[in-house]
């Protein structure tokens, strides 16, 4: 731990609420950045953006078991709390909320949020219970921290749309803000799971961004959406990936689209290389 670290981690909802209450009494606005830790520059961008929205920034660090399927990487998900707290401190975060599983899911916990709309398809085809777990924990965090604004990375684009719709549908008084994806110089989107990539897989990984960039340029230049998507799928498969999906969707509803006339388009991809599953997305420019 850095000797100069001033951030104070709290572990209970009661402590979080007490701190938030005193900030509210001082008429300070509060921004929440929910994370599962293993913080990288993408998270730093979220924390820095949060400071522009509010006087006080709360970071939550909680590896949420309910969004992992039994076959997924919950037990080996990277946990780097001390380094995370140093990064949060350096980014100007005021409070880190670090609950344990019992605090978030007490004995007898029996409630889950059920979703449709932007949660249908894409990730849900491959991770059927994922967004119910995300929505449940995010709803809890939003109720616990009662922030004015909450920030999420566009890297998890479907998650961002699901949470935006969730907040609207159940009248949570919070503004959901998406923050652009931070990328490595070769285009690979930053992700806590990139640490799983071996050397060869890491070398192949930027193809996702290259394929999406080529397809968005093709569509923006008047090319046919399905042709552009087919080319991108072929490029990803040729680089050694097993493709889960590569789709063109309406940027807000995530409904399938066949032409630019149907609204703003977002291209989304999920693909596996070795034992690692990567996701990425890109907007088709207007």
Binding-site residues, in ranges, read 36-43, 67, 153-156, 159, 182, 190-193
CA distance 105 to 54: 29
Shortest spacing between CB 106 and ligand PAF, in angstroms: 18
Answer yes or no whether residue 35 interacts with ligand PAF by CB under 6 A.
yes
Q: Are 148 and 175 in contact (CB under 8 A)?
A: yes
- Out of 88, 119, 137, 254, the only residue in the binding site for ligand PAF (CB under 6 A) is 137
Answer yes or no whether residue 164 interacts with ligand PAF by CB under 6 A.
no
Q: Respond yes or no: is residue 209 known to be catalytic.
A: no
CA distance 233 to 242: 10
Answer yes or no whether residue 123 interacts with ligand PAF by CB under 6 A.
no
CA distance 139 to 37: 18
Of 50, 77, 49, which is closest to residue 63 (Cα–Cα)? 77
Residues touching ligand PAF: how many (CB under 6 A)? 10
Question: Which segment (16-24, 47-55, 133-141, 251-259) binds ligand PAF by CB under 6 A?
Answer: 133-141
> Taking the CB of residue 264, how many other CB atoms lie within 10 A of it?
14
Answer yes or no whether residue 36 interacts with ligand PAF by CB under 6 A.
yes
Which residues on adjacent β-strands are paired with residue 267?
248, 282
Of 182, 16, 4, which is closest to residue 90 (Cα–Cα)? 4
x-or-dash string of contact with ligand PAF, 60-79, rule CB under 6 A:
----x--x------------
Answer yes or no whether residue 156 interacts with ligand PAF by CB under 6 A.
yes
CA distance 200 to 239: 11
Query: So which residues are the catalytic ones?
Result: 43
Name the residues that contact ligand PAF, by CB under 6 A: 34-36, 64, 67, 134, 137-138, 156, 159
């Amino acid at each position: 731990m850095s000797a100069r670290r001033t951030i104070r981690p709290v572990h209970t909802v009661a402590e979080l609420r007490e701190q938030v209450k005193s900030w509210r009494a001082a008429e300070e606005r509060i921004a929440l950045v929910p994370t599962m830790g293993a913080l990288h520059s993408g998270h730093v961008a979220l924390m820095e953006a949060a400071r522009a929205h509010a006087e006080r920034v709360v970071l939550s660090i909680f590896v949420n078991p309910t969004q992992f399927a039994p076959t997924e990487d919950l037990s080996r998900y990277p946990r780097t709390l001390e380094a995370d707290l140093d990064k949060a401190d350096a980014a100007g975060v005021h409070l880190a909320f670090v609950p344990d599983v019992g605090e978030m899911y007490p004995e007898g916990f029996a409630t889950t949020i059920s979703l449709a709309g932007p949660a249908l398809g894409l990730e849900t085809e491959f991770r059927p219970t994922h967004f119910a777990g995300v929505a449940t924990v995010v709803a809890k965090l939003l109720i616990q921290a009662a922030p004015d604004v909450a920030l999420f990375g566009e890297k998890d684009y479907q998650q961002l749309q699901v949470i935006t719709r969730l907040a609207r549908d159940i009248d949570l008084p919070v503004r959901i803000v998406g923050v652009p994806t931070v990328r490595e110089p070769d285009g690979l989107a930053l992700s806590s799971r990139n640490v799983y990539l071996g050397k060869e897989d890491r070398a192949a990984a930027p193809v996702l961004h290259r394929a999406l960039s080529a397809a968005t340029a093709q569509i923006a230049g008047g090319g046919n959406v399905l042709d552009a998507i087919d080319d991108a799928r072929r490029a990803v498969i040729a680089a050694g990936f097993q493709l889960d999906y590569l789709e063109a969707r309406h940027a807000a509803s995530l409904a399938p689209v066949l032409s630019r006339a149907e609204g703003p388009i977002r291209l989304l991809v999920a693909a596996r290389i070795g034992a690692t599953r990567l996701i990425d997305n890109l907007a088709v420019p207007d």
